[in-house]
Structure 1
Amino acid sequence: MSNLPTLSRRTWLAPIGAIAFALAASLVSLKAFAAEPAKLILRVDDIGMTHATNQGLQDLADLKIPFAASVMFTTPWYQEAVEILRANPQISVGVHLTLNAEWRHYRWGPIAGRNEVPSLINDTGYFYPSTAEFLAQDINLDEVRLELEAQIKRAIDTGLPITYVDYHMRTALATDEMVKVVTELAQQYQLRMSMRMGEAYSTMFDVPIEDKADTFLAHLDNELDASKVNVVILHAARPNPEMQALIDLNNPIMNTADMAPLVSQHRATELDMLLSPAVQKRFSRGDITLINYADTDNPFAHK
């Protein structure tokens, strides 16, 4: 009987010790996993659309952080954007494939030539404002390919290292047939396809102006996926008169009830948010690694 307590103690201590060891090993493993920084691409869209968007690009470029700039090579101010991007190789450049022109009194059309792609334009020679209007037409897929390839070629001809494509208003991905066209072009020119590479992506576009900063910081704190490349889609511009005059024909959230434009406030708020000490401090904590598309695998690269 005198040995019973000793035997009992050994009987209990052995499995407890094993469990404790296993828990400690698991905690070490979890800590190592948690310490792995989440990879994040800040994708800033509509670059080249206006001088104000290019000024926003310059402000972000001055931070010297990596991010992705999606350039609209159909728009009047793209050449200024090219100059800024040449001086900032930390920014990966993408072609913001464009088949719409959504602003009242500020329009653009195809660069392949109006006579070459008549199914893509309205009776004034410009792109349709909305995806729905675009799809309501008898769209010729050969013309879609011709126009999108013209945009890619213009981008490449600037001499910038073009790393990816994405899709203004997502119209270029609106049908399975168009997805096939875009995929074939991306493969032909060895370009990554943003949002089609298994990324975890989100957008700040439709977040209310007053909530943008808090929503963005909360996303950084709680919603990044450490197992994937994360992409946050942003729009940034200085609130200049040209931006203040823009009225979005498609999105009511971008205008007040009496059609006073809010787009300038949305884009200036996102620019100020990215430039803010709070966000820059958040990036410096070490649990997020900012990358650009040049840092990701390219499934279409020639082996």
Structure 2
Amino acid sequence: MNTLPRSLLIVVCFCLTLVSVKVVAEPLRLILRVDDIGMTHATNQGLRDLAALGIPFAASVMFTTPWYQEGVEILKQNPQISVGVHLTLNAEWRHYRWGPIAGRNEVPSLINETGYFYPSTAEFLAQDIKLDEVRLELEAQIQRALATDLDIAYVDYHMRTALATPELEQVVTELAQQYQLRMSMRMGEAVTTLFDVPIEQKQQRFLQHLDSELNADKVNVLVIHAARNHPEMQALIDLNNPIMNTEDMEPLVARHRATELEMLLSPEARQRFQSGKMELINYHQTPNPFKTQ
């Protein structure tokens, strides 16, 4: 009876073993970062809807805005959500404005003639901005956040104005280091937003991103703007971004944000979140480069 040479037999067995082994890919890490919490009651109600899913995500709170305290109450009831300070130097809505919490007399270079923040990053940068006033205001926002007794995990940047120049970014970096807070979008993450995606394309782009665009080598961050479609949102006219209004200046922001809320609450999203192909995390599950022992 003919037999295979021992060396060939070993090779055959090894190949069969490889065929039988299932390669299990590591799940792709994803942080859903929900911005502008505290901006309106409708925004907070969107946060409440997402919190009811029980999944980990990140919520960025605008501590300069009128409804932030309601957002804080919701977040205290949902420890699966990591909280960030949405550092704010702009107020971009017609008829709905906010200003500095450090005091208007303390930071005059940051405000317009009515005492509110400038609507756009470009208008902000066109002023003779004093960096010590920027530091004072952003530190006041961080201190207000910490005073709530929430476990603040990170900072990020409304409209990215606080990162608009190297000098501004240096101020933020020094504050993050001082208060031992992570800097979202400055930790090597792969960041995507659906903010400028047309309403009718958001759901498709969202599912496409989850299905084929997540980075296997980085923490992925998907920036979300979610709110219920309530009258207070329907009245908001964006002075900064044309996609948020029609050509006749009819506001679209409520539809944009309600669409992003609905896509996260959809069965299609739930199926993907539960597929095992991705791991939903929050910022507390990422390293903190500024944390000291």
* TM-score after normalising by structure 1: 0.91
- Return the offset for 1:22: 7.2
- Return the offset for 1:98: 0.1
- Return the offset for 1:187: 0.4
1:152–1:26 Cα change, 3 Å: farther
- Return the offset for 1:247: 0.5
Task: Pick from 134, 138, 142 the counterpart of residue 128 of structure 2.
Answer: 138
Aligned residue for 1:61? 51
The answer to whether residue 91 in structure 2 is matched with residue 101 in structure 1 is yes
The answer to whether residue 244 in structure 2 is matched with residue 223 in structure 1 is no
For 2:282 and 2:21, how far apart are their aligned partners in 1? Answer: 30
Aligned residue for 2:158? 168
The answer to whether residue 70 in structure 2 is matched with residue 80 in structure 1 is yes
- Return the offset for 1:225: 1.1
- Return the offset for 1:23: 10
RMSD between aligned alpha carbons?
2.0
Q: Secondary structure at the match of 1:101?
A: coil
Q: Secondary structure at the match of 1:286?
A: coil
Aligned residue for 1:124? 114
The answer to whether residue 34 in structure 2 is matched with residue 44 in structure 1 is yes
Q: Secondary structure at the match of 2:39?
A: coil
For 2:109 and 2:21, how far apart are their aligned partners in 1? Answer: 60
For 1:25 and 1:122, how far apart are their aligned partners in 2? Answer: 68
The answer to whether residue 175 in structure 2 is matched with residue 191 in structure 1 is no
**Unpaired runs of 5+ in structure 1?**
1-5
Aligned residue for 2:232? 242
- Return the offset for 1:257: 0.4
1:22–1:139 Cα change, 3 Å: farther
For 1:23 and 1:138, how far apart are their aligned partners in 2? Answer: 71
- Return the offset for 1:26: 9.8
| Identity %, equivalent residues | 75
Aligned residue for 2:146? 156
The answer to whether residue 273 in structure 2 is matched with residue 283 in structure 1 is yes
For 1:123 and 1:190, how far apart are their aligned partners in 2? Answer: 35
- Return the offset for 1:228: 1.1
For 1:97 and 1:86, how far apart are their aligned partners in 2? Answer: 20
Offset from partner CA, 1:188-219 (integer Å, 9 cap, x none): 00000000000011001011111111111110
Aligned residue for 1:181? 171
Q: Secondary structure at the match of 2:36?
A: strand
For 1:127 and 1:121, how far apart are their aligned partners in 2? Answer: 5
For 1:177 and 1:61, how far apart are their aligned partners in 2? Answer: 36
For 1:27 and 1:174, how far apart are their aligned partners in 2? Answer: 53
Q: Which amino acid aligns with 2:36?
A: D
Offset from partner CA, 1:39-59 (integer Å, 9 cap, x none): 100000000000000000000
Offset from partner CA, 1:15-34 (integer Å, 9 cap, x none): x948x9579759958x23xx
Offset from partner CA, 1:123-181 (integer Å, 9 cap, x none): 00000000000000000000000000000000000010000000000000000001110
* TM-score after normalising by structure 2: 0.94
**Unpaired runs of 5+ in structure 2?**
none
